[in-house]
Chain A
Amino acid sequence: DQQVKQNSPSLSVQEGRISILNCDYTNSMFDYFLWYKKYPAEGPTFLISISSIKDKNEDGRFTVFLNKSAKHLSLHIVPSQPGDSAVYFCAASDNNDMRFGAGTRLTVKP
């Protein structure tokens, strides 16, 4: 069962514009959410996280929004840069294990 879903397998944006990556989850027990970034032939790298007690967390160009009632979170990257091109995984944790989405491939065009 897919408890974490990323319904867009790919996203293409222009350099300087905003990238919005979306993630939905089904398990209401998840209380911690993370975004990982993955380049080819490398392992995922932690990017940003948010606790279920918050609805927004910002770190530089990256902001994660959490809507608990909708069981939805999103990652905003602004402004997008070509170096942001990678696969982005959404993950959710209930402190016992972590579930990942299938990933969204972001391409930022110069």
Chain B
Amino acid sequence: GAGVSQSPRYKVAKRGQDVALRCDPISGHVSLFWYQQALGQGPEFLTYFQNEAQLDKSGLPSDRFFAERPEGSVSTLKIQRTQQEDSAVYLCASGVWVNQETQYFGPGTRLLVL
């Protein structure tokens, strides 16, 4: 079956531009996570959804970052007024439930802010 998909795979933005990154989780998966992975680093937690409820957004680095999952399936991570330090790979993962073992990652969106 289809895995987690993310779009776009690559995004180049000018500083100050707004971007929207999409995640299509595995169908039926309840939990959805967003991570930010800087070059040479491991993924860092941004936010977590259980169905449409955003249960944890403690990892979002600033109020320029906003995530939603209005119908409990597709999720969008929006970054307003992008800055160069936002350049990273943004990974989405989904899971059957809240068990961390069953997180399945998408390929990521590589964002470059010029």
Interface of A toward B, CB cutoff 8 Å: 4, 6, 9, 32, 34, 36, 41-46, 49, 89, 91, 93, 95-103
- Of B93, B105, B107, the contact of A41 (CB 8 Å cutoff): B107
Nearest residue (CB) in A for B103 is A46
The SS class assigned to the B binding surface is mixed
Q: Given A43-B93, A46-B101, answer yes or no on A98-B108 (Cβ-Cβ < 8 Å).
A: no
Give the complex CA separation of A46 and B41 in angstroms: 17
Could you jot down 19 A-B contacts, CB within 8 Å? A34-B100, A34-B101, A42-B107, A43-B91, A43-B93, A43-B105, A43-B106, A45-B105, A49-B101, A91-B100, A93-B100, A98-B33, A98-B100, A98-B103, A99-B45, A100-B35, A101-B42, A102-B40, A103-B41
B18 CB-CB contact with A under 8 Å: no
Residues of B within 8 A of A91 (CB): 42, 100
Give the complex CA separation of A34 and B91 in angstroms: 17
For B, the interface residue count at a CB cutoff of 8 angstroms equals 25
Give the complex CA separation of A102 and B44 in angstroms: 10
Question: Is the CB–CB distance between B59 and A44 below 8 Å?
Answer: no
Query: Which residues of B14-33 are within 8 A (CB) of A?
Result: 33
Give the complex CA separation of A45 and B4 in angstroms: 12
Give the complex CA separation of A91 and B41 in angstroms: 12
Residues of B within 8 A of A42 (CB): 107
Question: Is the CB–CB distance between B56 and A97 below 8 Å?
Answer: yes
Question: Is the CB–CB distance between B42 and A43 below 8 Å?
Answer: no
Residues of A within 8 A of B42 (CB): 4, 6, 89, 91, 100-103
Residues of A within 8 A of B72 (CB): none
Give the complex CA separation of A36 and B104 in angstroms: 10
Name the residue among A49, A95, A98 with the largest chain B CB count within 10 angstroms: A98
Residues of B within 8 A of A44 (CB): 43, 91, 105
B48 CB-CB contact with A under 8 Å: yes
Extra contacts, 15 of them, besides A91-B100, A102-B40, A102-B42 (Cβ < 8 A), are A4-B42, A6-B42, A34-B100, A34-B101, A36-B105, A42-B107, A43-B91, A44-B105, A45-B105, A46-B101, A91-B42, A95-B98, A97-B45, A98-B33, A100-B42
